[in-house]
Structure 1
Amino acid sequence: MKQQWRLLLLALGFFTRLPLPEIKDFRQSDLNEAARYFPLVGWLVGIVAAVAVGLLGDIVPLEVAIILSMMATAYLTGGFHEDGLADSVDGLGGGWEKEQALTIMKDSRLGSYGAMALVFTLLLKFESLLHISVTLLPLVLFAGHALSRLAAVLVIATQDYVRDEGKAKPLAHHLSKTSLLLAALFGLLPMLFLSLQLWAAMLPVAVVWIWFSLKLKKRLGGYTGDCLGAMQQLTEIAFYLGVLIWS
């Protein structure tokens, strides 16, 4: 249990800005195994989003509550995934060759492709959430954040890391069966709070996951840390769109 708690703290430290105790004797393999708890981190982020909407929805207009909820999750994660999306789109949109794309993705400056991606995805996320039933919205947020982080874990499990160094380098090793099974459990468990009809919302998630995974394989030969953030954002929005379609 002590080791599992250590792995959970590592996952929280990797994906959030929470003040956490220092992890002593860190090993690269620890973060690799901590991937099993990435969807569980999504539980925390999803709960924050759901609570924000639930509490603020009775005080301010729903539109404002949703924006504040999005701001709360971005603050909690440090905009980690949004930054990954912008960098990935900049690299894939502006680079013709693999090395050129990786160089652009590593550049801290925001390019036109990344800026457009951020604007469009944030607008699409906001509009999607706005049209979901208020009573359903907290559960959808909870499930969406967990499921989308499972999608990122599945990229780690199925592709190779393409940089020689980087923040996600410790995740480069393929996951153990135990880690993959636990990640799937934590990623899918929140779906039990939704009706069986809404389970069909996972279909757009699967379509987006396959499309973006193939693009990464073709253009880069694998993934980077930025690509994991992009996958999380894209599949989260795909899930919300799926809920809109089947609700």
Structure 2
Amino acid sequence: MAGMQSSGGAQAEEPRQGAAAPAAPPPFWPGWLRAGAICIRFYSRLPVPALPGEADRHALPDFRLVPRAVPLAALVIALPAALVLLGSGAAGVHPMLAAGLAIAALVVTTGAFHEDGLGDSADGLFGGHSAERRLEIMKDSRVGSFGAVAIGLALLLRIAGLASILGAAGPVAAAGCLLLAAAWSRAEGVGLLAREPAARSGGASAAVGRPLRRTAWIGFVLAAALSLAITLAAGLPLAALALALALCHAAARGLAALARRMIGGQTGDIVGAVQQIGEIAVYCGFALVLGGARP
């Protein structure tokens, strides 16, 4: 799945001060197919074979450059769930059941990757009384009360949001919303990594490296283009897209501000929480404009 390398052999920017990144900057931008394959492997349980020249396919990726392909990878990751939603909706399955099946498929595909981050974030941010204690709680693999409630509410809101869109605009529109929510919410996570310092030097977000600003901007532009194309193809109103993306960005910024105040920056768990909350915000934006489910 190796892609063509980008022309010109552009040298990578130096990471901003305080960024935790691999010592040697990469000599070129990885090709889009290669970057997309790396992102699919990192964000999901979908099988991705070893890439040409790759010594260890289980090693952490260099996130300074490859996350620009996250929106494309998100579409691949969300495609099975979108097909489940499209098929069950077209077959006349009740919207709540169809949405539940789609979210279940998405959780299986990602291995509950982002749900785990949301649960750990909720436990840490609301279960500790100091930044050090909050970070310690977030590293604990056990799920506490705040985490369990956050995961449960997130699943409920995602299912209800998709069901509302399905009932109001049909299966094609609902599947399109699922796809564009996957792309945009993950782009917000990359933006968070690029903007905010790592809260701990030895965490996963620090280990993969801090995305360059241009990496994050390319990801946002790509996510916006994909979202616009999906919205037009699915026959959704542009006003709904604008509201959905605005709510998603506001939610990501709000959570980033909370994490900065309570733990001093971002962690991999916070990035996962941004994805989950952002996905919910996208569904809410579309549901608000579409007017909810038809009787």
Q: Could you state the TM-score of these two structures normalised by the residue count of structure 2?
A: 0.78
> CA RMSD of the aligned region, Å?
1.9
How far 1:30 sits from its partner (Å)? 3.0
C-alpha spacing 1:118/1:52, structure 2 compared with 1 (3 Å): same
Structure 1 or 2, whichever has the larger Rg, is 2
2:67 is equivalent to residue 35 of structure 1: yes
**Partner of 2:254 in structure 1?**
211
Identity %: 31
Paired residue for 1:108? Answer: 141
What are the equivalent positions in structure 2 for 1:142-221 lying under 5 Å apart? 142-177=179-214, 179-192=215-228, 193-194=230-231, 195-198=237-240, 199-221=242-264
Which letter maps to 1:11?
Answer: C
How far apart are the structure 1 equivalents of 2:197 and 2:209?
A: 6
- Contact 1:201–1:240 (8 Å) recurs in 2: yes
* Counterpart Cα distance in 1 of 2:76 and 2:103: 14
Residue pair 1:66, 1:126 contacting (<8 A) in 2 also: yes
Residue 17 in structure 1 maps to residue 54 in structure 2: no
1:120-135 maps to which residues of 2 (within 5 A)?
120-132=153-165, 133-134=169-170, 135=172
Contact 2:247 2:282 in 1 (8 A): yes
In 1, distance between residues paired with 2:177 and 2:263?
A: 32
> Following the alignment from structure 2 to structure 1, what is the Cα–Cα distance between the partners of residues 49 and 211?
27
- For 1:69 and 1:202, how far apart are their aligned partners in 2? 21
Change (3 A) 1:131 1:159: same
The Cα offsets for residues 145-188 of structure 1, whole Å up to 9 and x where unpaired, read as 111001101101110112222333333324141x2232112221
Structure 1: 5+ residue runs without aligned partners? none
What is the one-letter code of the residue matched to 2:225? L
**What is the SS of the residue equivalent to 1:147?**
helix
1:135-154 CA deviation, whole Å, 9 max, x = no partner? 42111111111110011011
**Which of residues 150, 155, 160 in structure 2 aligns to 1:117?**
150
Q: Which residue does the alignment assign to 1:80?
A: 113
Q: Which moved more, 1:40-49 or 1:144-153?
A: 40-49
Return closer, same or farther for 1:172/1:215 CA change in 2, 3 Å cut-off.
farther
CA distance in structure 2 between the partners assigned to 1:201 and 1:48 by the alignment: 22
Which position in structure 2 is the counterpart of 1:229? 272
Question: Partner letter of residue 54 of structure 1?
Answer: L
CA distance in 1, matches of 2:186, 2:179: 11
The answer to whether the 8 Å contact 2:62/2:208 transfers is no
Cα separation, partners in 2 of 1:228 and 1:174, compared to 1, 3 Å: same
Which whole-Å CA distance do the structure 1 matches of 2:84 and 2:138 have between them? Answer: 32
Give me the TM-score of the superposition, normalised by structure 1: 0.92
Which structure 2 segments of 5+ residues have no match? 6-29, 232-236, 291-295
Secondary structure of the residue that 2:201 maps to in structure 1?
coil
* More helix by percentage: 1
- One-letter amino acid of the structure 1 residue matched with residue 68 of structure 2: R
The 2-side partners of 1:74 and 1:93 are apart by 24
Q: Structure 1 residues 92, 214: CA separation in 2 closer, same or farther (over 3 Å shift)?
A: same
In structure 2, the residue matched to 1:8 is: 36
- Which amino acid is 2:125 matched to? L
